[in-house]
Amino acid sequence: MNATVRQIVALAASLAAGIVAVCWHTEARAFDTAHPKATAPHLAQPERKAANSWDQKAAAAYLDQRAGWWMEWPKAARDHQTFCVSCHTAVPYALSRPALRQGLAEQSPSANERRLLDNVTKRVRLWKEVGPFYSDADRGVYKTVESRGTESVLNALILASNDAQSGRLSNDTRTALDNMWAEQQTSGDKAGAWLWLRFANEPWEADDSDFYGATLAAVAAGTAAEGYRAKLEIQNNVKMLREYLNRKCAAQTTINRVALLWASAKLPALLEPEKQRAIINEVRSKQQADGGWSLSSLVGAWKRADGTPQEVKSDGYATGFITFVLQQAGIPRADAQLQQGLAWLASNQNKTEGFWLSYSLNKNEAHHLSPGTARFMNDAATAYAVLALTEPNRSALVTGAVVNVTGPKMK
């Protein structure tokens, strides 16, 4: 009798082991079908590398130092003891620095975060009194209205992103959003957009940067807490914004369409799913052999003003921005190409100074005003690299669990 029982138990154990093996191989085959370029063990290696081999403390130190430099730079100073908010340094800093708080066990914003928020809040409260970033009198025609349009969007984006951490929409953020919508164009070819600063500098101050600015406005509205994006009083503004972005999408550079993809992740129904997939496939086709992306390959035939050749190597800004946005758009962390991009980021941080290297599209390092201005692209690169590498941690904090992404897949 005992021998018979032992035989039955042994047979059951063997059967169970066989079932587990069959299930595991079935799942592995299903994974390989969804990700034909890589197997599960291969994908796991870059994930561990991206998670463990970059220095958060060094990145925070670099971002803090650069934000401090910008806020003290005489050329950034404005009236009422405020400073200009820049697309390359101040805005990326405001978006990214909170992402490092968990990893560094920080309980409150850094001193420079608080100073930047105080500056933006002050300018929002003094909106009708404070001077524009640039005026027609000192920088040429249209600079006053371009400055107002640009600043209104950046102020709203910074304050809405800050509020999103607590889930409460502050009165100052409401005012900033009101200022933003008041600057939206309502007629002509630019209807739905904002007049944007133009200084012949890609990717944020060129003739096509109105589109980039409109994507940031969409991100601001979509990020704002307490269901702001659904409020009845802004639906006509949102409609004009949606129509503008869709109307102008086909004529944009790839990097502007990446910004549009980010906006569509924040503002539902901004883009149809097939348009999202088309952008994702376009971005995927631009990935380089080393796993990164090169900004110069994403801006068409743009030439540097100093006549020097564009850098064609993968860089921190393009790779950081793209890998961040792809995750925002719902690309799963297990995707092979996304992991290759994250692995590139993990391998290419300057561990001594904490930054990721990027390159100006407008001049080489030797032709910048100073070593400080030569780092502008590194500032943005470092911020978006941080956002890309910390995205799963921040998503888990928001949802209280591991995020189950069901958005568009890269294929």
Question: Strand, coil or helix: what is 78?
Answer: strand
Residue 18: the pLDDT is 41
Angstrom distances, CA of residue 259 to CA of 17, 255, 264: 49, 7, 9
Residue 392: the pLDDT is 83
Residue 408: the pLDDT is 40
Taking alpha carbons only, the member of 344, 302, 347, 350 closest to residue 319 is 344
| Alpha-carbon span 407 to 264, nearest angstrom | 11
Parallel, antiparallel, or unpaired for β 82-83 and 77-78? antiparallel
Taking alpha carbons only, the member of 340, 323, 302 closest to residue 209 is 302
DSSP conformation class of 410: P
| Alpha-carbon span 329 to 320, nearest angstrom | 14
Compute and round to an integer the Cα radius of gyration of the chain: 24
Taking alpha carbons only, the member of 351, 380, 344 closest to residue 63 is 380
Q: Within 10 A of 167 (CB to CB), how many other CB atoms are there?
A: 9
78 DSSP β-pair partners: 82
φ/ψ of residue 224, rounded to 5: -55, 140
Query: Residue 123 class from Cβ within 10 Å (0-12 exposed, 13-18 middle, 19+ buried)?
Result: buried
Per-residue DSSP letters for 291-349? S---GGGGSTT---TT-PPPP-S--HHHHHHHHHHHHHTT--TT-HHHHHHHHHHHHSB
| Alpha-carbon span 296 to 20, nearest angstrom | 49
Residue 20: the pLDDT is 35
E strand or H helix at 145, and its extent?
helix 143-164
How does pLDDT run across 369-404, given as a tens digit for each residue? 888 999 999 999 999 999 999 998 665 444 332 233
Long-range CB contact pairs, 43-49, < 8 A, 24+: 43/334, 43/336, 43/339, 46/339, 46/340, 46/342, 46/343, 46/346, 47/333, 47/334, 47/339, 47/342, 49/343, 49/346, 49/347
φ/ψ of residue 302, rounded to 5: -60, 135
Name the pTM for this structure: 0.85
| Alpha-carbon span 248 to 260, nearest angstrom | 11
* 348 contacts 54 by C-beta, under 8 angstroms: no
Taking alpha carbons only, the member of 122, 161, 171, 130 closest to residue 147 is 130
Question: Strand, coil or helix: what is 77?
Answer: strand
| Alpha-carbon span 237 to 139, nearest angstrom | 30
Residue 306: the pLDDT is 96
| Alpha-carbon span 297 to 302, nearest angstrom | 9
Residue 59: the pLDDT is 98
Instruction: List, run by run, the mean pLDDT of 10-residue segments along the chain (411 residues).
Output: 45 40 34 33 44 88 98 98 98 98 95 98 98 96 98 98 97 98 97 98 97 98 98 98 98 98 96 97 98 98 97 98 98 97 98 97 93 96 98 55 35 37
| Alpha-carbon span 379 to 96, nearest angstrom | 11
Residues 6+ apart with CB under 8 A from 388: 319, 320, 321, 323, 324, 327, 341, 342, 345
| Alpha-carbon span 56 to 65, nearest angstrom | 14
E strand or H helix at 83, and its extent?
strand 82-83
Angle of helix 171-182 relative to helix 143-164, nearest 10 degrees? 150
